[in-house]
Amino acid sequence: MTRFSTRAILAATRSPEVNQVPSAIPIYQAAAFSTGDAAELGDVLTGARPGYAYSRIDNPTTAALGDAVADLEGAEAGLAFASGMAAIHAAILSTVRAGQTIVATQAVYGTTRDLLVRVLAGLGIATEFVDPTDLAAVDAALVRAGAPVLYVETISNPTLVVSDIAALAAAAHRRGALLLVDNTFASPYACRPIERGADLVMHSATKYLSGHADALAGVVVGGRERVDALRPILVDAGGALAPLAAFLVLRGLPTLALRMERHSESALELATWLQDQDNVERVYYPGLPGDPGHAVAVRQLDVFGGMLAFELSGGRDAGRAFLDAMRIAERTASLGAVRTITTHPPSTTHRQLDSAALAASGIAPGLLRCSVGLEDVEDLREDFERGLVAARAAEGAGSA
């Protein structure tokens, strides 16, 4: 008979027999999976047979998340990562080599821009930034750079530029390039870039896919061969997603449609109201008929999304006063959650950019970005009014 410590270990690690299908994907909170013999372990590790051996390589819960998002996006395969940036990093590295140049949208998330101009530049990968709405400029950049990749965001962070995915896919493929799309701001409910010709689509699953601000995760979807090319980067660079985080994102997916409908309805109502406020110089929201991206948005998006941005006439001081006066919205740098979140991009999400880079990206000093949550829109409008009153007072004090 085995001794106590041995029995304790064996008893606590013995898997229960389950003959029924669970109503939720189980959390396989295990670093490793035991095999029947050495041959099976070798076959699983080399991919000769399906299975699991080590969660840095693969895990059932995280695999389920990748498959689920691929299904929602209309893609053949998906792979989950520890964060959205890990997903973007792997997607780019799987398609670009040292000495090559990426063509990327000028309006891009600040950390993505930092990845391109600092991290990847150090590996000998250059980036040329273009306006994605200028197809002639995009084509010229692809030809000039001989770029293997065109990188865009469906709806850009933070100025909500809407990229015409079908047109950009055609432009990229005509020049022998792949189209990589960050679909975080839209979500698969609003837009499915794979269906419009994109080759790889990335998500910060931390945002709308999860929806509850309690998990960090990223996902890449696309054709099976292209997604398989990401796996060595995931495994060797250590970007594995924790099973609990995968479970939390999976929990959020069934309500994605309901949440996106509510986010979008409230965002459109707030954007329409903000247009009429005297100290708001400009509102960025693709659902507004006067927005530069409205025509593309109507053609491409099933809903206009929960993200909006607006410029205050008083600049940074007015923006700071607006944020500090709010009582419902959270002041933080994330998005896509049930709570409304407001932020000042020049000092948070795009803090890496200097004044020239901010101006080139169309980010004004007084720009505020808002992720509209699921609260009652009347309460949000009252909260925004508090912010605008404070912003007017700050602008008046500055003028004096």
Any domain includes 9 = no
Which of 255, 273, 305 delimits the end of a domain?
A: 255
Query: Both 243 and 306 in a single domain?
Result: no
> Which residue range(s) make up the domain with 91?
38-42+52-255
Q: Within this chain, do residues 274 and 379 fall inside the same structural domain, yes or no? A: yes
Residues 292 and 160 in one domain: no
The residue type of 191 is C
Whether 383 and 377 have beta carbons less than 8 Å apart is answered as no
Active site residues: 56, 109, 182, 207
Q: How many domains does the chain have?
A: 2
On the 0-12 / 13-18 / 19+ scale of CB atoms within 10 A, 381 is middle
Tokens 């069934």 locate to: 254
List pLDDT tens digits, range 97-108. Answer: 999 999 999 989
Token pair 């998006």 in the structure block, residue: 301
361 vs 104: CA distance, rounded Å: 12
> Residue-wise over 225-263: b if at least 16 C-beta within 10 A, else e?
ebbebbbebbeeeebbbbbebbbbbbbbbeebbebbebb
**Which of the two residues, 358 and 176, has the higher pLDDT score?**
176
In a domain, 27, yes or no: no
Strand partners, 311: 282, 367
323 in the same domain as 249: no
Please report whether residue 341 resides in a domain.
Answer: yes
Tell me, yes or no, whether 7 lies in a domain: no
- Whether 127 and 266 map to the same domain: the answer is no
- Beta strand 200-204 with 178-182 is parallel
3-state SS class at 276: coil
Note if the pTM is more than 0.85: yes
**For residue 293, what are its two tokens?**
């991206």
Phi then psi for residue 54, to 5 deg, are -150, 130
Over range 330-357, report the average pLDDT.
Answer: 81
User: Over the stretch 32-73, which tens digit does the pLDDT of each residue have?
Assistant: 999 999 999 999 998 899 999 999 999 999 999 999 999 999
Dihedral (CA of 219, 220, 224, 225) sign: negative
* Band (362; pLDDT cuts 50, 70, 90): confident
pLDDT at residue 83 above 90?
A: yes
Query: Which DSSP state fits 352?
Result: T
**Do residues 230 and 236 make contact, with C-beta atoms less than 8 angstroms apart?**
no
Same-domain pairing of 227 and 372: no
- Positive or negative torsion for Cα 317, 323, 325, 331: negative
Regarding whether 244 and 189 lie in a shared domain, the answer is yes
pLDDT exceeds cutoff 70 at 349: no
Classify residue 17: in a domain, yes or no. Answer: no
Residue 182 in this model has a pLDDT that exceeds 70: yes
Among 237, 162, 212, residue whose Cα is nearest residue 334: 212
Residue 131 belongs to a domain with what CATH number? 3.40.640.10
